[in-house]
Chain A
Amino acid sequence: DAGVTQSPTHLIKTRGQQVTLRCSPKSGHDTVSWYQQALGQGPQFIFQYYEEEERQRGNFPDRFSGHQFPNYSSELNVNALLLGDSALYLCASSLAGQGRGTNEKLFFGSGTQLSVL
């Protein structure tokens, strides 16, 4: 049973460019969340997608956008890249509607390391 897979694993871009990161959730999961983790910090919530819609968003500018496809996979797009966008981008999947607090039992991928030069 494949877990959460993310691609690519590493990426180098220059300022002002646009980037797309991809995520396939764990089999059977229907919800995808994205996180940004700067070096030495804990992950920060970007947004969550469920039923192909953005369900909740963290404190990130509109340059960060996403999409969820009918097969539950997801993309994270970042426009007009800044040096400060250099970070590890993590995707996490979960199954909605489980109750008893288990909705927040997230399964994380190993992330995409983005470097902006």
Chain B
Amino acid sequence: DAKTTQPPSMDCAEGRAANLPCNHSTISGNEYVYWYRQIHSQGPQYIIHGLKNNETNEMASLIITEDRKSSTLILPHATLRDTAVYYCIALKGGSQGNLIFGKGTKLSVKP
């Protein structure tokens, strides 16, 4: 699975959009980009995933560059409850649960 690189921490004002970057320059054509987040004292929570097209769901949007070497997770209107560690993971379908979590980005949403 491709290695991903994320900034260790970011701040965002409440109500503003939070844009979390992820670099995955060695990603292969059959690897998906997954985003999870972990709020303190809870298990990780699935947010969104994509292969090459941009994706949107009720939680967030995922923008993947055309060359697939990087992506951005967008939380359109961040709230205090979005304060968490966000993990970007690149992996093939059929990885049989073997998600490789790095250190992620600690997002702090401030009033």
Residues of A at the B interface (CB closer than 8 Å) are 4, 31, 33, 41-45, 48, 50, 55-56, 58, 90, 92, 94, 99-111
Contacts and interface: CB of A to CB of B under 8 A. Distances in A.
B32 A104 contact: yes
B97 interface: yes
Interface of B: 32, 34, 41-46, 49, 51, 85, 87, 91, 93-104
B interface SS class = loop
A42 B103 contact: yes
Contacts, number: 73
B96 A108 contact: no
B97 A110 contact: no
Contact of A104 (B85, B95, B103): B95
Contacts of A41: 103
Contacts of B87: 42
Contact of B49 (A43, A48, A90, A104): A104
B44 A90 contact: yes
A105 B93 CA distance: 10
Contacts of B103: 41-42
A106 B96 contact: no
A42 B93 contact: no
B98 A45 contact: yes
B98 A109 contact: no
